[in-house]
């Protein structure tokens, strides 16, 4: 999860508009701000200064903080999402060895850290943190007693078990060294300067020329870029990529939070799919049509989009598509053959619970058609066929427009497969129009009043049937993520199989009631909830006497799932404000990109 950023230049050289280099701390600090969505428990920066490592670490978010470090041409930084050890200054990265001359930042989990720590403790090493990361600089320190810096980093990384990325610097070396297995790293090449980051978002402001570090590779950044394979350290020729991104410092504009801004961007996302994605989605439809067995994979929000896809392909294209949560797919791979098509869906393209199972099924010869929002991500590079969501940057940790883009891509693909592409196009444009009408002041005020009424509720239940079932569980996730209310989503009939026992007088219950084959049965479920005291919030194209509050959507067939979920996004946001959530863009304990097991 965590954000990593490193920078190195030669202070005697003039760069960028003739300005002198040598302010690594400032460049790293700026980079960490752009990477903070990866973790915001704590942060720190280490720079090389007059033959020693100078370190600054803080608990909490970077926000408007200032860094007080000397000018330097070399440094590394980190913004943390805690795994091992609590959120303290001692546990924040970078971590040092006993001599204070080696600094390490790390993303991942060292699965054998306790064994390594015991071994190092016996040799006299002193530890000051609770983290697994701290064993890394001490192990490098130990190897340095008998070999050079690069070899010591290589041999240390070879001893780490698990999926890890490390970036290391030393007070006595003019280099930054990084290695990875699983967790992402990308090196950027500037004019007489180099960058290293956990993803390209951090460095695209400075350069478009990058090298994506692959698993079991180590990169040495100094006067040049040297790439070697692990475990033996054989030098290989790096492959340079020019990433065609325009760097834009995304602004909130008139919006208080990115979460709300990105909700309001969704009509344009839908229109973009219609205008620009149709040719690519015809290719995806062709792959599905020819495959002998297709799997849709996702985690979190992407998993609910994938689940919705199974309903869309069944109903529209009469195609059976298998669905799996990414982390569970390893237990379902017995059915995978060289004729299988696997469609992993991920906003970041770095989610380890997607990336790892894809690696495994590639060994079986399966075809990978990846749907992701990030060009050059690990998933994008893994895939045989690459389909970009093109939803634009999503700064809020909780996904909104990425979900809408995923649903629209799957819906239009299903319509193409059914030979009804124009129908799919019309529905998505109608959904975009529906969203714009939902954003009118009168409707937003209604959602605010509803949020005020139910904001002190401890529990909330959401139900749907058919395609509205994945809508219900995605809506549930948004309410939990943003407002911290305990919410649960169910297929309508499942309430009777136990959960209805939890309904009390005034319990908020959201009913997804589109004008389709599920309508009468879901209304019956709503009646059952109301009879037990539930406060019924209906979302659909028709009002009903059972609803205490009605939120209207247009009847746009399968595309109705989009306004259904957007209502939940808006409700989650205003619930968060009513409940005094500090920053809905950065919910507690969460990070945007989940790169650890």
Q: What share of the chain is helix, strand, coil (3-state, %, to 5)?
A: 40, 25, 40
Q: What is the pLDDT of residue 589?
A: 83
- Using one digit for the tens of pLDDT, what is the confidence trace for 54-102? 999 999 888 778 888 999 999 999 999 888 889 999 999 999 999 999 9
Q: What is the pLDDT of residue 201?
A: 80
DSSP secondary structure, 330-398, as one string: GGGGGG--TT-EEEEEESSS--HHHHHHHHHHHTTT-EEEEEESSTT-HHHHH-SEEEE-------SSS
Residue 13 has pLDDT above 60, yes or no: no
Per domain, the residue ranges of the chain are: 3-242, 250-439, 440-587
Where does the pLDDT of residue 34 fall: very low under 50, low under 70, confident under 90, or very high at 90 and above? confident
Q: What is the pLDDT of residue 2?
A: 83
Residue 233 has pLDDT above 70, yes or no: yes
Catalytic residue check, 592:
yes
Q: Residue 204: left if φ>0, alpha if ψ -120 to 50, beta else—which one?
A: alpha
Q: What is the pLDDT of residue 192?
A: 87
**Higher-confidence position of 19 and 562:** 562
**From CA 398, how far away is CA 196, in angstroms rounded?**
26
Q: Which two tokens stand for residue 63?
A: 């926000």
Q: What is the pLDDT of residue 205?
A: 87
- Using one digit for the tens of pLDDT, what is the confidence trace for 459-470? 999 999 999 999
* Closest-CA residue to 447 (of 573, 321, 310): 573
Cα separation values, 338 from 328, 330, 333, 342, Å: 20, 16, 12, 10
Residue 386 has pLDDT above 50, yes or no: yes
- Using one digit for the tens of pLDDT, what is the confidence trace for 527-561? 999 999 999 999 999 999 999 999 999 999 999 99
Catalytic residue check, 98:
no
Are both 3-242 and 250-439 of the same fold? no
* Closest-CA residue to 249 (of 400, 4, 34): 34
* Catalytic member of 126, 453, 592, 597: 592
Q: Which two tokens stand for residue 85?
A: 């050890």
Residue 17 has pLDDT above 50, yes or no: no
**From CA 571, how far away is CA 444, in angstroms rounded?**
9
Q: CATH homologous superfamily of domain 250-439?
A: Glucose-6-phosphate isomerase like protein; domain 1 (3.40.50.10490)
* Catalytic member of 2, 208, 395, 530: 2
- Using one digit for the tens of pLDDT, what is the confidence trace for 197-224? 998 888 888 998 999 999 999 999 998 9
Taking residues 554-577, report their average pLDDT. Answer: 98
- Using one digit for the tens of pLDDT, what is the confidence trace for 110-142? 999 999 999 999 999 999 999 999 999 999 999
460 backbone dihedrals φ, ψ, rounded to 5°: -150, 145
Q: What is the pLDDT of residue 12?
A: 45
Q: What is the pLDDT of residue 15?
A: 47
* Closest-CA residue to 302 (of 196, 409, 221): 409
Cα separation values, 125 from 53, 122, 141, 331, Å: 19, 7, 10, 41
**From CA 14, how far away is CA 18, in angstroms rounded?**
5
Residue 20 has pLDDT above 60, yes or no: no
Look at the chain and count its residues. 597
Taking residues 6-31, report their average pLDDT. Answer: 72
Where does the pLDDT of residue 176 fall: very low under 50, low under 70, confident under 90, or very high at 90 and above? very high
Q: What is the pLDDT of residue 55?
A: 95
Q: What is the pLDDT of residue 22?
A: 61
Fold of the CATH domain 3-242: 3.60.20
Q: Are 587 and 482 in contact (CB under 8 A)?
A: yes
- Using one digit for the tens of pLDDT, what is the confidence trace for 473-493? 999 999 999 999 999 999 999
* Closest-CA residue to 180 (of 157, 150, 199): 157
Taking residues 418-430, report their average pLDDT. Answer: 97
**From CA 273, how far away is CA 236, in angstroms rounded?**
40
Exposure letters 366-398 (e unless 16+ CB within 10 A, then b): bbbbbbbbbbbbbbbbbbebbbbbebbbbbbbb
Residue 247 has pLDDT above 70, yes or no: no
Q: What is the pLDDT of residue 250?
A: 61
- Using one digit for the tens of pLDDT, what is the confidence trace for 501-515? 999 999 999 999 999
Q: What percent of the chain has pLDDT over 90?
A: 80
**From CA 566, how far away is CA 264, in angstroms rounded?**
9
Domain range 440-587, its CATH number among 3.40.50.620, 3.90.870.10, 3.40.50.10490, 3.40.50.970: 3.40.50.10490
The pTM for the full model equals 0.86
């Amino acid at each position: 999860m965590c954000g990593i950023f490193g920078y190195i230049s030669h202070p005697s050289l003039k760069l960028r508009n003739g300005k002198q280099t040598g302010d690594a701390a400032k460049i790293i600090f700026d980079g960490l701000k752009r990477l903070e969505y990866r973790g915001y428990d704590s942060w720190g920066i280490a720079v090389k200064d007059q033959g020693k490592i100078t370190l600054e670490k803080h608990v909490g978010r970077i926000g408007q903080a200032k860094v007080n470090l000397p000018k330097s041409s070399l440094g590394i930084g980190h913004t943390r999402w805690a795994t091992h050890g609590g959120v303290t200054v001692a546990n924040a990265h970078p971590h040092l060895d006993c001599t204070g001359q080696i600094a390490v930042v790390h993303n991942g989990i060292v699965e054998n850290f306790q064994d390594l720590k015991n071994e190092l403790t016996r040799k006299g090493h002193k530890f000051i943190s609770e983290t697994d990361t701290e064993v890394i600089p001490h192990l490098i320190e130990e190897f340095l007693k008998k070999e050079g810096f690069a070899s010591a980093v290589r041999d240390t990384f070879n001893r780490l078990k698990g999926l890890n990325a490390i970036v290391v610097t030393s007070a006595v070396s003019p280099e930054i060294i990084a290695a990875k297995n699983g967790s992402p790293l990308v090196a950027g090449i500037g004019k007489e300067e180099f960058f290293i980051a956990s993803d390209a978002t951090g460095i695209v402001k400075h350069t478009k020329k990058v090298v994506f570090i692959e698993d079991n590779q180590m990169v040495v950044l100094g006067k040049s870029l040297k790439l070697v394979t692990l475990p033996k350290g054989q030098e290989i020729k790096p492959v340079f990529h020019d990433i065609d991104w325009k760097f834009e410092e995304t602004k909130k504009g008139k919006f208080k939070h990115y979460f709300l801004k990105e909700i309001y961007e969704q009509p344009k996302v839908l229109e973009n799919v219609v205008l620009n994605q149709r040719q690519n989605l015809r290719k995806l439809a062709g792959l599905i049509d020819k495959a002998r067995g297709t799997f849709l994979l996702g985690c979190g929000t992407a998993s609910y989009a994938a689940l919705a896809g199974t309903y869309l392909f069944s109903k529209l294209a009469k195609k059976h598509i298998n669905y799996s949560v990414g982390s569970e797919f390893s237990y379902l791979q017995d059915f995978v053959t060289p004729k299988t098509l696997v469609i992993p869906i991920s906003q970041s393209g770095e989610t380890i619970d997607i990336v790892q199972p894809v690696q495994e099924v590639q060994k079986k010869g399966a075809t990978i058609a990846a749907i992701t929002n990030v060009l050059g991500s690990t998933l994008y590079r893994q895939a045989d066929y690459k389909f970009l969501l093109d939803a634009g940057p999503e700064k809020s940790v909780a996904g909104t427009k990425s979900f809408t883009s995923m649903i629209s891509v799957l819906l239009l693909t299903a319509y193409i497969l059914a030979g009804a592409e124009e129908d799919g196009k019309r529905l998505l444009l109608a959904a975009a129009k529906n969203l714009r009408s939902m954003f009118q002041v009168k409707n937003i005020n209604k959602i605010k009043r509803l949020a005020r009424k139910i904001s002190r509720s401890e529990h909330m239940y959401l139900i749907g049937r058919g395609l509205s079932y994945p809508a219900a569980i995605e809506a549930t996730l948004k309410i939990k993520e943003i407002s911290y209310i305990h919410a649960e989503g169910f297929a309508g009939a499942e309430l009777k199989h136990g959960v209805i026992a939890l309904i009390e007088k005034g319990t908020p219950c959201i009913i997804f009631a589109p004008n389709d084959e599920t309508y009468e049965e879901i209304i019956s479920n709503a009646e059952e909830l109301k009879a037990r005291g539930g406060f019924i919030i209906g979302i659909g194209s028709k009002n009903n006497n059972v609803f205490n509050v009605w939120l209207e959507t247009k009847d746009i067939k399968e595309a109705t799932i989009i306004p259904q979920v957007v209502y939940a996004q808006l409700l989650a946001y205003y619930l968060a404000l009513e409940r005094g959530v500090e920053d809905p863009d950065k919910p507690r304990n969460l990070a945007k990109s989940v790169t650890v097991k």
